[in-house]
Amino acid sequence: MIVLICGLSGAGKTTLAENVRNKLVAIGKATEILDGDEYRKMLFKELSYSQEDRFENIRRLGFIGNKFSKQGIIAIVSAINPFEEIRQELCRNYDDVKIVSLYCPVEILIERDTKGLYARALLPDGHPQKLYNLTGINDRFDVPENPDLYLDSGTQSVKECTDILFDFIIERC
């Protein structure tokens, strides 16, 4: 199984993936996290944040996730994954892909701003630290059209989201 956790920066994708992995491993389910930020930093350094490179990033994560899945390892892809087109491409190309939409209102994300990205994106144009390609602020995010699971980290606790996703995966393994 490949689980695509999609959502804006700060919505809790990595935290959710780690919590669910820990619960799955505790009951003997082999699980691997493919974190978009981590893979970009370590393996995909040449990729920018253009639409073309974002597609390529997700294609690569999907390919690696499929290799794990074929070995019976649950692959949790934790990435913003902003474009419906590439999410659907992965669903067409690989077996047992599940899309999880992790929603959180932008207002809450701006308050959390764990990486300082929203503050930079909201700087005035021309500011030397302005971030011009933050998904959900000044870059596109396609809300998943028909996700297999919808979670709201703005209203649901980390534990609730973890338990719901864990149960969702267990029911399908």
**Residue 67: both structure tokens together:** 């290799």
**What pLDDT sits at residue 48?**
87
Give the separation between CA 29 and CA 78, rounded to whole angstroms.
18
Instruction: Provide the edge-to-edge strand list for the sheet that holds 31-35.
Output: 31-35, 74-78, 2-6, 97-103, 149-152
Mean pLDDT computed over 6-32: 97
Estimate to the nearest angstrom the gap between the alpha carbon of 97 and the chain centroid. 13
What structural domains and CATH numbers belong to the chain? 2-105+143-172 (3.40.50.300)
Length of the chain: 173
pLDDT in tens, 115-171: 999 999 999 999 999 999 899 999 999 999 999 999 999 999 999 999 999 999 999
Mean pLDDT computed over 51-69: 96
**What pLDDT sits at residue 77?**
98
pLDDT in tens, 85-129: 999 999 999 999 999 999 999 999 999 998 999 999 999 999 999
Nearest to 12 by CA among 86, 99, 74, 100: 100
Mean pLDDT computed over 69-90: 97
CB contact at 8 A, 109 and 12 = no
3-state helix/strand/coil string of the chain: CEEEEECCCCCCHHHHHHHHHHHHHHCCCCEEEEEHHHHHHHCCCCCCCCHHHHHHHHHHHHHHHHHHHHCCCEEEEECCCCCHHHHHHHHHHCCCEEEEEEECCHHHHHHHCCCCHHHHHCCCCCCCCCCCCCECCCECCCCCCCCCEEEECCCCCHHHHHHHHHHHHHHHC
49 pLDDT more than 90: no
173 pLDDT more than 90: no
**What pLDDT sits at residue 19?**
98
- To the question of pTM greater than 0.75 for the whole model, the response is yes
**What pLDDT sits at residue 170?**
98
